[in-house]
Structure 1
């Protein structure tokens, strides 16, 4: 492992920024109505698709942390989800946030929440890449050449038969998952509020 003066990214700050962005977007979410009226069949289909995307995001995060939790910043992980993308945790987080947006009944909200999450995590992942490049040197440079930065390439998948996981990292990810899943009753509450409101800034698809 190469010596480095580059510090690892403070993940607590990243999580805080995402939460602040979500809260900042909440007024827009409340006062913008989906073109498919709440309660209609079309709205329910879009909401169900969003729920499925949210669950994929949550399960994907759990899958990713099983591989990297015990060795994060100590070993260059290239197995399991990390064989398909260098940032599976961030990819699945973006999917989960886009799913929450879709649960609100319009692609606009999926693009809004997913896009903002992607922008924040892109900056974080770029800073992490600088740390890993300085830490692991040529090994990470080769990893960059072989594996996509964000979008997974399933053709590259490979995994060992056994994985050692960190119980604390897994526990923290389970708490994160609850943070994602609490969006389900929140979306239902937002739908109820929108149904009772007569005012809307505009409608979106």
Structure 2
């Protein structure tokens, strides 16, 4: 098997590995948060609002990643995709994952935790996106250059949205993305359980997190 034929598989592996890094970071953060309490009192209107906002962010991540997968269809880095979510940002999957990581911090009730998780995800995915851009430029040449000139690297510009009539997608890729999204959603009951344990005195609290 040639090196060229290995490149797409290597790229997919690296993308999965970086998503795992973000997921593991979120778990580590939640473990650390188990021994803190949010500044806004749990059960207060302010805490409930921030928590609900976090759930909204995670749902946007979940739906956005599924939407993006319908377009990428298991063909990311195999062909140039520029329709749907890929018309407003070059990296919608990375963008929505960052939104999800931020939502995890908000679900806990901490703006500081949300900012930390969101920033960590942004840095990891932005660096990854820049590296991938070099690979795609070498593969697609002028077509990719034209695409990058009109489409933001990371932050979406909704005014650029355009679609196409026909799409094909991989059910296997869609299933994998669905399971990845469930990972974010599963953190909510874990956070709620931690709140209950803190309120009942079963978890020690070492400091308050804003």
Length-normalised TM-score, structure 2:
0.88
- Quote how far apart the aligned CAs of 1:85 are: 0.3
Counterpart for residue 131 of structure 1: 135
Asked whether the equivalents of residues 6 and 134 of structure 1 are also in contact (C-alpha less than 8 Å), the reply is: no
Q: Counterpart of 1:33 in 2: which secondary structure?
A: strand
Give the superposed CA RMSD: 2.1
Structure 2 residue 192 is the aligned partner of structure 1 residue 203 = no
Q: Deviations over 1:173-203 (max 9, x none)?
A: 1111111111121111222233244744432
Q: Given the superposition, is the C-alpha separation of residues 19 and 54 from structure 1 closer, same or farther in structure 2, using an over 3 Å criterion?
A: closer
Moved over 4 A (4+): none
- Quote how far apart the aligned CAs of 1:74 are: 1.7
Structure 2 residue 188 is the aligned partner of structure 1 residue 184 = yes
Structure 2 residue 208 is the aligned partner of structure 1 residue 169 = no
Structure 2 residue 173 is the aligned partner of structure 1 residue 147 = no
Structure 2 residue 198 is the aligned partner of structure 1 residue 194 = yes
Asked whether the equivalents of residues 61 and 181 of structure 2 are also in contact (C-alpha less than 8 Å), the reply is: no
Q: How many residue pairs end up in the alignment?
A: 203
Residue in structure 1 matching 2:53, options 38, 49, 52: 49
Q: Counterpart of 2:152 in 1: which secondary structure?
A: coil
Q: Counterpart of 2:34 in 1: which secondary structure?
A: helix
Quick one: distance in 1 between partners of 2:113 and 2:51?
11
Unmatched tracts of structure 1, length 5 or more:
none
Describe how 1:19-30 pairs up with structure 2 within 5 A. Answer: 19-30=23-34
Structure 2 residue 144 is the aligned partner of structure 1 residue 119 = no
Counterpart for residue 108 of structure 1: 112
Unmatched tracts of structure 2, length 5 or more:
none
Asked whether the equivalents of residues 86 and 150 of structure 1 are also in contact (C-alpha less than 8 Å), the reply is: yes
- Quote how far apart the aligned CAs of 1:121 are: 1.4
Describe how 1:69-88 pairs up with structure 2 within 5 A. Answer: 69-88=73-92
